[in-house]
Structure 1
Protein backbone atom coordinates (compact mmCIF):
# COMPACT_ATOMS: atom_id res chain seq x y z
CA UNK A 1 0.00 0.00 0.00
CA UNK A 2 1.30 3.41 -0.93
CA UNK A 3 0.43 6.15 1.51
CA UNK A 4 0.58 9.61 -0.02
CA UNK A 5 -1.15 12.93 0.49
CA UNK A 6 -3.78 11.52 -1.89
CA UNK A 7 -4.63 8.57 0.37
CA UNK A 8 -7.52 9.55 2.62
CA UNK A 9 -8.56 7.62 5.71
CA UNK A 10 -12.00 7.04 7.19
CA UNK A 11 -12.10 6.27 10.92
CA UNK A 12 -15.03 5.34 13.14
CA UNK A 13 -15.20 4.13 16.75
CA UNK A 14 -17.88 2.31 18.67
CA UNK A 15 -18.09 0.70 22.10
CA UNK A 16 -20.04 -2.53 22.48
CA UNK A 17 -21.38 -3.94 25.76
CA UNK A 18 -19.69 -7.30 25.30
CA UNK A 19 -16.31 -8.83 26.20
CA UNK A 20 -13.45 -8.38 23.74
CA UNK A 21 -13.33 -12.09 22.78
CA UNK A 22 -17.05 -12.06 21.93
CA UNK A 23 -16.76 -8.90 19.81
CA UNK A 24 -13.65 -10.15 18.02
CA UNK A 25 -15.26 -13.52 17.27
CA UNK A 26 -18.30 -11.76 15.77
CA UNK A 27 -15.89 -10.29 13.19
CA UNK A 28 -13.52 -13.25 12.79
CA UNK A 29 -15.95 -16.17 12.57
CA UNK A 30 -17.57 -16.29 9.09
CA UNK A 31 -20.84 -17.70 10.43
CA UNK A 32 -21.19 -14.93 13.01
CA UNK A 33 -20.02 -12.21 10.62
CA UNK A 34 -22.69 -13.20 8.10
CA UNK A 35 -25.42 -12.78 10.73
CA UNK A 36 -24.85 -9.07 11.37
CA UNK A 37 -22.79 -7.50 8.59
CA UNK A 38 -24.18 -5.29 5.87
CA UNK A 39 -26.98 -2.73 5.83
CA UNK A 40 -30.33 -3.42 7.47
CA UNK A 41 -32.30 -5.95 5.46
CA UNK A 42 -29.19 -7.44 3.83
CA UNK A 43 -28.50 -11.16 3.98
CA UNK A 44 -24.82 -12.13 3.72
CA UNK A 45 -23.83 -15.61 2.57
CA UNK A 46 -20.24 -16.83 2.74
CA UNK A 47 -19.55 -18.63 -0.53
CA UNK A 48 -16.01 -19.81 0.12
CA UNK A 49 -12.93 -19.31 2.24
CA UNK A 50 -12.41 -18.47 5.84
CA UNK A 51 -11.10 -15.75 8.13
CA UNK A 52 -7.44 -16.35 8.98
CA UNK A 53 -4.17 -14.61 8.27
CA UNK A 54 -3.41 -15.23 4.59
CA UNK A 55 -6.90 -16.52 3.80
CA UNK A 56 -9.50 -15.16 1.38
CA UNK A 57 -13.25 -14.99 1.94
CA UNK A 58 -15.76 -14.64 -0.92
CA UNK A 59 -19.28 -13.55 0.08
CA UNK A 60 -22.60 -12.64 -1.49
CA UNK A 61 -24.88 -9.89 -0.13
CA UNK A 62 -28.56 -9.91 -1.01
CA UNK A 63 -30.14 -6.52 -0.28
CA UNK A 64 -33.77 -5.99 0.66
CA UNK A 65 -34.36 -4.26 -2.70
CA UNK A 66 -33.16 -7.35 -4.60
CA UNK A 67 -29.68 -6.05 -5.43
CA UNK A 68 -26.90 -8.63 -5.27
CA UNK A 69 -23.27 -7.72 -4.52
CA UNK A 70 -20.23 -9.91 -4.11
CA UNK A 71 -17.15 -9.10 -2.05
CA UNK A 72 -13.70 -10.56 -1.71
CA UNK A 73 -11.72 -10.10 1.51
CA UNK A 74 -8.03 -10.97 1.73
CA UNK A 75 -7.05 -11.32 5.39
CA UNK A 76 -3.67 -9.84 6.25
CA UNK A 77 -3.83 -9.98 10.05
CA UNK A 78 -6.03 -12.02 12.35
CA UNK A 79 -4.55 -11.48 15.81
CA UNK A 80 -7.17 -12.58 18.34
CA UNK A 81 -8.53 -10.66 20.18
CA UNK A 82 -6.82 -7.36 19.38
CA UNK A 83 -6.44 -6.76 15.67
CA UNK A 84 -8.00 -7.63 12.34
CA UNK A 85 -6.85 -6.36 8.92
CA UNK A 86 -8.27 -7.27 5.54
CA UNK A 87 -8.30 -5.88 2.01
CA UNK A 88 -11.84 -5.71 0.62
CA UNK A 89 -12.87 -5.49 -3.03
CA UNK A 90 -16.04 -5.90 -5.02
CA UNK A 91 -16.14 -9.21 -6.84
CA UNK A 92 -18.22 -11.21 -9.26
CA UNK A 93 -19.96 -14.52 -8.54
CA UNK A 94 -16.74 -16.41 -9.39
CA UNK A 95 -14.59 -14.39 -6.98
CA UNK A 96 -12.83 -12.14 -9.48
CA UNK A 97 -12.23 -8.53 -8.44
CA UNK A 98 -14.50 -6.12 -10.36
CA UNK A 99 -15.03 -2.35 -10.31
CA UNK A 100 -17.50 -0.86 -7.86
CA UNK A 101 -20.97 -1.26 -9.38
CA UNK A 102 -22.37 2.06 -8.13
CA UNK A 103 -19.53 4.63 -8.29
CA UNK A 104 -17.63 5.48 -11.46
CA UNK A 105 -14.45 6.33 -9.57
CA UNK A 106 -14.00 4.15 -6.50
CA UNK A 107 -10.84 2.53 -5.15
CA UNK A 108 -10.53 -1.08 -6.29
CA UNK A 109 -9.40 -2.16 -2.83
CA UNK A 110 -10.07 -0.81 0.66
CA UNK A 111 -7.94 -1.84 3.60
CA UNK A 112 -10.05 -2.39 6.70
CA UNK A 113 -7.98 -2.15 9.89
CA UNK A 114 -9.82 -2.85 13.15
CA UNK A 115 -8.38 -2.54 16.66
CA UNK A 116 -10.27 -4.11 19.56
CA UNK A 117 -9.73 -2.71 23.06
CA UNK A 118 -11.21 -3.97 26.32
CA UNK A 119 -12.71 -1.02 28.20
CA UNK A 120 -14.86 -0.72 31.27
CA UNK A 121 -18.24 -2.17 30.42
CA UNK A 122 -17.27 -3.71 27.09
CA UNK A 123 -15.09 -3.41 24.01
CA UNK A 124 -14.20 -0.39 21.93
CA UNK A 125 -13.35 -0.90 18.30
CA UNK A 126 -11.56 1.59 16.12
CA UNK A 127 -12.11 0.89 12.45
CA UNK A 128 -9.98 2.52 9.77
CA UNK A 129 -10.86 2.26 6.08
CA UNK A 130 -8.06 3.23 3.71
CA UNK A 131 -8.05 3.05 -0.09
CA UNK A 132 -5.12 1.02 -1.44
CA UNK A 133 -3.21 2.95 -4.11
CA UNK A 134 -6.10 5.17 -5.21
CA UNK A 135 -5.95 7.50 -8.16
CA UNK A 136 -6.64 11.16 -7.36
CA UNK A 137 -10.18 10.75 -8.70
CA UNK A 138 -10.78 7.65 -6.58
CA UNK A 139 -9.45 9.41 -3.47
CA UNK A 140 -11.80 12.35 -4.11
CA UNK A 141 -14.75 9.98 -4.51
CA UNK A 142 -13.82 8.23 -1.26
CA UNK A 143 -13.62 11.56 0.60
CA UNK A 144 -16.97 12.67 -0.83
CA UNK A 145 -18.60 9.45 0.46
CA UNK A 146 -17.40 9.72 4.08
CA UNK A 147 -20.73 10.95 5.49
CA UNK A 148 -22.44 8.02 3.80
CA UNK A 149 -19.78 5.65 5.18
CA UNK A 150 -20.49 6.92 8.70
CA UNK A 151 -24.17 6.10 8.21
CA UNK A 152 -23.41 2.72 6.66
CA UNK A 153 -20.99 1.60 9.34
CA UNK A 154 -23.28 2.96 12.08
CA UNK A 155 -26.11 0.82 10.71
CA UNK A 156 -23.88 -2.25 10.64
CA UNK A 157 -22.73 -1.50 14.18
CA UNK A 158 -26.37 -1.25 15.29
CA UNK A 159 -26.91 -4.75 13.86
CA UNK A 160 -23.76 -5.95 15.63
CA UNK A 161 -25.03 -4.45 18.91
CA UNK A 162 -28.29 -6.40 18.53
CA UNK A 163 -26.43 -9.57 17.59
CA UNK A 164 -24.12 -9.33 20.61
CA UNK A 165 -27.06 -8.66 22.96
CA UNK A 166 -28.94 -11.78 21.81
Structure 2
Protein backbone atom coordinates (compact mmCIF):
# COMPACT_ATOMS: atom_id res chain seq x y z
CA UNK A 1 0.00 0.00 0.00
CA UNK A 2 1.34 3.41 -0.91
CA UNK A 3 0.34 6.48 1.03
CA UNK A 4 0.88 9.89 -0.46
CA UNK A 5 -0.09 13.38 0.56
CA UNK A 6 -2.64 14.96 -1.72
CA UNK A 7 -2.07 18.62 -1.05
CA UNK A 8 0.47 21.23 -2.01
CA UNK A 9 0.10 22.68 1.49
CA UNK A 10 2.10 20.11 3.39
CA UNK A 11 4.22 20.79 6.43
CA UNK A 12 7.84 19.63 6.21
CA UNK A 13 10.49 19.35 8.87
CA UNK A 14 13.89 17.66 8.88
CA UNK A 15 16.62 17.06 11.45
CA UNK A 16 19.88 15.11 11.28
CA UNK A 17 21.00 13.17 14.35
CA UNK A 18 24.45 11.91 15.20
CA UNK A 19 23.08 8.39 15.65
CA UNK A 20 22.58 5.28 13.51
CA UNK A 21 19.20 4.80 11.85
CA UNK A 22 18.25 1.73 13.88
CA UNK A 23 18.70 3.62 17.16
CA UNK A 24 16.58 6.55 15.91
CA UNK A 25 13.94 4.08 14.69
CA UNK A 26 13.90 2.30 18.05
CA UNK A 27 13.54 5.63 19.88
CA UNK A 28 10.56 6.44 17.65
CA UNK A 29 8.82 3.05 17.91
CA UNK A 30 9.37 1.74 21.46
CA UNK A 31 7.37 2.92 24.48
CA UNK A 32 10.34 2.93 26.84
CA UNK A 33 12.04 5.45 24.54
CA UNK A 34 9.08 7.58 23.43
CA UNK A 35 8.24 8.48 27.02
CA UNK A 36 11.65 10.20 27.32
CA UNK A 37 11.47 12.61 24.40
CA UNK A 38 8.14 12.78 22.51
CA UNK A 39 6.02 15.91 22.84
CA UNK A 40 6.53 19.57 23.59
CA UNK A 41 9.39 20.67 25.84
CA UNK A 42 8.38 20.63 29.48
CA UNK A 43 5.70 17.96 29.08
CA UNK A 44 5.74 14.53 30.66
CA UNK A 45 4.54 11.76 28.37
CA UNK A 46 2.52 8.79 29.54
CA UNK A 47 2.24 5.98 26.99
CA UNK A 48 -1.25 4.48 27.33
CA UNK A 49 -0.91 2.14 24.32
CA UNK A 50 1.68 1.46 21.65
CA UNK A 51 1.25 -1.08 18.87
CA UNK A 52 3.55 -0.19 15.96
CA UNK A 53 2.04 -2.08 13.03
CA UNK A 54 -0.42 -1.19 10.27
CA UNK A 55 -3.75 -0.77 12.07
CA UNK A 56 -2.02 -0.28 15.45
CA UNK A 57 -1.93 2.88 17.52
CA UNK A 58 0.10 5.07 19.82
CA UNK A 59 -2.21 6.62 22.44
CA UNK A 60 -0.52 8.96 24.87
CA UNK A 61 -1.07 11.69 27.41
CA UNK A 62 0.94 14.90 27.51
CA UNK A 63 1.04 16.33 31.02
CA UNK A 64 1.79 20.04 30.87
CA UNK A 65 3.86 21.85 33.51
CA UNK A 66 0.65 23.48 34.85
CA UNK A 67 -0.85 20.02 35.48
CA UNK A 68 -3.24 20.02 32.53
CA UNK A 69 -3.43 16.86 30.42
CA UNK A 70 -3.83 16.59 26.64
CA UNK A 71 -4.23 13.26 24.89
CA UNK A 72 -3.05 12.36 21.40
CA UNK A 73 -3.30 9.37 19.14
CA UNK A 74 -1.45 7.97 16.11
CA UNK A 75 -3.11 5.37 13.88
CA UNK A 76 -0.40 3.54 11.97
CA UNK A 77 -0.93 2.93 8.25
CA UNK A 78 2.46 1.76 7.00
CA UNK A 79 5.58 0.49 8.72
CA UNK A 80 8.74 -0.10 6.68
CA UNK A 81 11.36 -0.62 9.39
CA UNK A 82 13.73 1.10 9.79
CA UNK A 83 13.15 3.51 6.91
CA UNK A 84 9.60 4.82 6.87
CA UNK A 85 6.53 5.11 9.05
CA UNK A 86 3.14 6.51 8.02
CA UNK A 87 0.34 7.37 10.42
CA UNK A 88 -2.51 9.74 11.05
CA UNK A 89 -2.51 11.69 14.25
CA UNK A 90 -4.88 13.90 16.14
CA UNK A 91 -5.95 14.99 19.58
CA UNK A 92 -7.87 12.39 21.54
CA UNK A 93 -9.71 11.86 24.77
CA UNK A 94 -8.59 9.46 27.47
CA UNK A 95 -10.53 6.64 25.78
CA UNK A 96 -8.73 7.25 22.46
CA UNK A 97 -11.57 8.93 20.56
CA UNK A 98 -10.48 11.75 18.23
CA UNK A 99 -11.50 15.18 19.50
CA UNK A 100 -11.02 18.79 18.45
CA UNK A 101 -7.79 20.51 19.36
CA UNK A 102 -7.77 22.35 22.68
CA UNK A 103 -6.06 25.35 21.04
CA UNK A 104 -8.21 25.87 17.92
CA UNK A 105 -11.68 24.54 17.07
CA UNK A 106 -10.88 24.49 13.34
CA UNK A 107 -7.67 22.48 13.69
CA UNK A 108 -7.96 19.34 11.49
CA UNK A 109 -9.11 16.21 13.30
CA UNK A 110 -6.55 14.11 11.42
CA UNK A 111 -3.14 14.86 9.97
CA UNK A 112 -1.38 12.32 7.76
CA UNK A 113 2.32 12.07 8.68
CA UNK A 114 5.04 10.44 6.60
CA UNK A 115 8.34 10.10 8.46
CA UNK A 116 11.47 8.86 6.70
CA UNK A 117 14.71 7.75 8.34
CA UNK A 118 17.76 8.09 6.07
CA UNK A 119 21.26 7.11 7.21
CA UNK A 120 24.57 8.35 5.82
CA UNK A 121 27.98 8.11 7.49
CA UNK A 122 26.48 6.96 10.80
CA UNK A 123 24.09 9.91 10.98
CA UNK A 124 20.34 9.75 10.50
CA UNK A 125 18.16 12.35 8.88
CA UNK A 126 14.58 12.19 10.09
CA UNK A 127 12.17 13.94 7.73
CA UNK A 128 8.49 14.66 8.34
CA UNK A 129 5.90 15.51 5.72
CA UNK A 130 2.38 16.13 6.99
CA UNK A 131 -0.97 17.42 5.80
CA UNK A 132 -4.58 17.30 6.95
CA UNK A 133 -6.86 14.62 5.58
CA UNK A 134 -10.64 14.66 5.42
CA UNK A 135 -10.40 18.38 6.21
CA UNK A 136 -12.35 21.45 5.18
CA UNK A 137 -10.79 24.43 3.42
CA UNK A 138 -10.87 26.30 6.73
CA UNK A 139 -9.05 23.45 8.50
CA UNK A 140 -6.38 23.38 5.75
CA UNK A 141 -5.95 27.16 6.10
CA UNK A 142 -5.59 26.94 9.91
CA UNK A 143 -3.03 24.14 9.49
CA UNK A 144 -0.94 26.19 7.05
CA UNK A 145 -1.21 29.29 9.27
CA UNK A 146 0.43 27.31 12.09
CA UNK A 147 3.54 26.17 10.16
CA UNK A 148 5.87 28.48 12.14
CA UNK A 149 4.41 27.26 15.44
CA UNK A 150 4.76 23.62 14.32
CA UNK A 151 8.40 24.21 13.30
CA UNK A 152 9.06 25.54 16.79
CA UNK A 153 7.23 22.66 18.44
CA UNK A 154 8.87 19.95 16.37
CA UNK A 155 12.21 21.74 16.79
CA UNK A 156 11.90 21.43 20.57
CA UNK A 157 10.78 17.82 20.34
CA UNK A 158 13.69 16.94 18.07
CA UNK A 159 16.10 18.69 20.47
CA UNK A 160 14.77 16.37 23.17
CA UNK A 161 15.28 13.38 20.86
CA UNK A 162 18.87 14.47 20.12
CA UNK A 163 19.64 14.77 23.83
CA UNK A 164 18.02 11.39 24.53
CA UNK A 165 19.94 9.70 21.70
CA UNK A 166 23.17 11.16 23.12
CA UNK A 167 22.34 9.56 26.49
CA UNK A 168 21.92 6.23 24.69
CA UNK A 169 25.34 6.61 23.11
CA UNK A 170 24.04 7.56 19.67
Interval of TM-score (by shorter of Structure 1 and Structure 2): over 0.9
Q: Secondary structure at the match of 1:87?
A: strand
In structure 1, the gaps of 5 or more residues are: none
Matched with 1:83 is 84
Question: Matches of 1:121 and 1:30 in 2, distance apart?
Answer: 24
Matched with 2:148 is 147
TM-score (structure 2 length as normaliser): 0.91
Question: Matches of 1:28 and 1:158 in 2, distance apart?
Answer: 17
1:11 aligned onto 2:17: no
1:67 CA drift (Å) = 2.1
- Decide whether the 8 Å contact of 2:5 with 2:131 is kept in 1: no
1:111 CA drift (Å) = 1.1
Question: Matches of 2:162 and 2:50 in 1, distance apart?
Answer: 25
Question: Matches of 1:17 and 1:37 in 2, distance apart?
Answer: 18
1:1-166 equivalences under 5 Å are 8-166=9-167
TM-score (structure 1 length as normaliser): 0.93
- Decide whether the 8 Å contact of 1:58 with 1:72 is kept in 2: yes
Question: Matches of 2:78 and 2:146 in 1, distance apart?
Answer: 26
Question: Matches of 1:69 and 1:126 in 2, distance apart?
Answer: 25
Q: Deviations over 1:54-111 (max 9, x none)?
A: 2122111101122210111111112111001111111111111111111021110011
Question: Matches of 2:68 and 2:130 in 1, distance apart?
Answer: 24
Question: Matches of 2:6 and 2:90 in 1, distance apart?
Answer: 20
Q: Secondary structure at the match of 1:126?
A: strand
RMSD of aligned C-alpha atoms?
1.6
Moved over 3 A (4+): 1-5
1:39 CA drift (Å) = 1.1
- Decide whether the 8 Å contact of 1:54 with 1:76 is kept in 2: yes
